[in-house]
Chains A and B, each alone.
Chain A
Amino acid sequence: MIRIHKQLPAAIFFVMLCLLSPVMAAPAVDVEDPWIREAPPASTVLAAYMVIKNNGDTQYTITRIESPDFRDAQIHRTVVEDGVAKMMPVEQLPLPVHGSISFEPGGLHLMLFDPLRSLREGDEVKLVIHVSNGDSITVQAPVVRKRGEDDHAHHHH
């Protein structure tokens, strides 16, 4: 009896470990809702937005994001200081444990330089997000037309 009792916690731990394994197998870092703002015809710079989630217990860092459809890509943060908008390059982007980071207009964004093909609404662009643990996540980001008319739609009479 004593022996069984001693082994019980270990057995429970083992069973729980088995139950948890599907959760643990989930990727540590997830990328949700990626999109690229369609640019005016002559534009050679675009911006991509997304939400990057850290599901793990470790603080990871996004080291780089790239796209085969652009000559170059850099993570930038728009900062307004004393009324002046500035672009600050972000070399390392830490992802808080069990937290997420949002790339959104007027804030953090992926600046995309010189598209290698014409990109219009409906096109999809491959983004590769590199994580400090060596993982890389590939997502397809749709090109979305956002010109300010859509957010007014619900105001029409």
Chain B
Amino acid sequence: MTTQRPTPISRHILIGVIIVLLATAAGIWSARLVLQRSGPQDELSATRFPVARAVQPFELVDHNNVAFNNASLQHRWSFMFFGYTYCPDVCPTTLSVLNSVAQRLQDLDVDVRFIMVTVDPERDTPERLAQFVTYFNGDFIGVTGTDEGLEQLTKQLGILHVRVQPEPGSDSYLMDHTAAVFLFDPDGRYHAVFSPPLSAEKIAGDFRKILQAYQ
């Protein structure tokens, strides 16, 4: 059936498509306005959300076997990284960067802590995590738990973690994992994210600006 003039139905579809396109364009345009309005944002290398996001409930444990959940994110700033202890390059490098950030922020009169959540809870027991994270800084916190607990947190943050099958003859597997560092504010909300390549200088500098805007 090939008619030159559109039938009433196809005209409705056409109008519908135009409305959807206009709405999308308007949405993108207003989203850009909102992002531009967030002021000093453009000077940050971090991505800060115009409105900090609430964190949905999750239940994990820290390296002292104490519950680590939403309440644990309250009352102080938390930098959070997702890694694992059988990781030879990225995780030690990131924890070194975070230790350098900690040194750079020592003069601040705010409570800041640094957390590594394992994406490999099967091998990373609280004891093993304790040895790993406190090697870099005695105040660093390791967090592990059940697969379900981990999913509760990683899903809402968009964290990817995949076990890579080892080569034949090798018994140790590697993990692909999101390399970013997440920042939570003292209200326990997801506030900003630092994407790789990570630089201690930039993270510390950005954090000072974020803190100024927050207070």
Chain A residues at the B interface, C-beta cutoff of 8 Å:
37, 39-47, 72, 76, 78, 80, 83-87, 89, 105-106, 109, 111-113, 146-149, 151-152, 155
B61 beta carbon closer than 8 Å to chain A: no
27 interchain pairs (CB within 8 A)? A37-B92, A40-B135, A41-B135, A45-B86, A45-B172, A72-B170, A76-B89, A83-B160, A83-B196, A84-B176, A85-B178, A87-B89, A105-B92, A106-B90, A106-B196, A109-B88, A112-B88, A146-B96, A147-B96, A148-B100, A148-B102, A148-B103, A148-B136, A148-B137, A152-B103, A152-B200, A155-B103
B85 touches A83 (CB 8 A): no
A44–B90 Cα distance when bound, in Å, is 15
- Residue numbers in B under 8 Å from A47 (CB-CB): 88-89, 92
- Count contacts on B: residues with CB < 8 A to the other chain: 40
Q: Do A44 and B179 contact each other (CB < 8 Å), given the known contacts A37-B92, A113-B172?
A: no
A151–B48 Cα distance when bound, in Å, is 26
B177 touches A87 (CB 8 A): no
Ranked 10 nearest A-B pairs via Cβ: A148-B99, A148-B96, A40-B135, A148-B100, A85-B179, A47-B88, A42-B131, A105-B93, A45-B88, A152-B103
B98 beta carbon closer than 8 Å to chain A: yes
B89 touches A111 (CB 8 A): yes
B99 touches A40 (CB 8 A): no
B152 beta carbon closer than 8 Å to chain A: no
A106 touches B89 (CB 8 A): yes
A148–B97 Cα distance when bound, in Å, is 6
Chain A residue nearest in CB terms to B92: A37
Q: Do A42 and B99 contact each other (CB < 8 Å), given the known contacts A87-B164, A106-B90, A148-B136?
A: no
Q: Do A40 and B85 contact each other (CB < 8 Å), given the known contacts A87-B174, A148-B97, A151-B200?
A: yes
B180 touches A152 (CB 8 A): no
Chain A residue nearest in CB terms to B167: A89
B95 beta carbon closer than 8 Å to chain A: yes
B128 beta carbon closer than 8 Å to chain A: yes
Q: State the Cβ distance, B142 to closest chain A Cβ, in Å.
A: 11
A47–B180 Cα distance when bound, in Å, is 21
- Residue numbers in A under 8 Å from B92 (CB-CB): 37, 39-40, 47, 105, 146
Known: A40-B133, A86-B176, A147-B135. 16 other contacts (CB 8 A): A40-B85, A40-B132, A42-B85, A46-B88, A72-B170, A76-B89, A83-B160, A84-B178, A87-B89, A109-B88, A113-B172, A148-B98, A148-B200, A152-B100, A152-B104, A155-B103
- Residue numbers in A under 8 Å from B133 (CB-CB): 40
Q: State the Cβ distance, A62 to closest chain B Cβ, in Å.
A: 18
- Residue numbers in B under 8 Å from A152 (CB-CB): 100, 103-104, 200
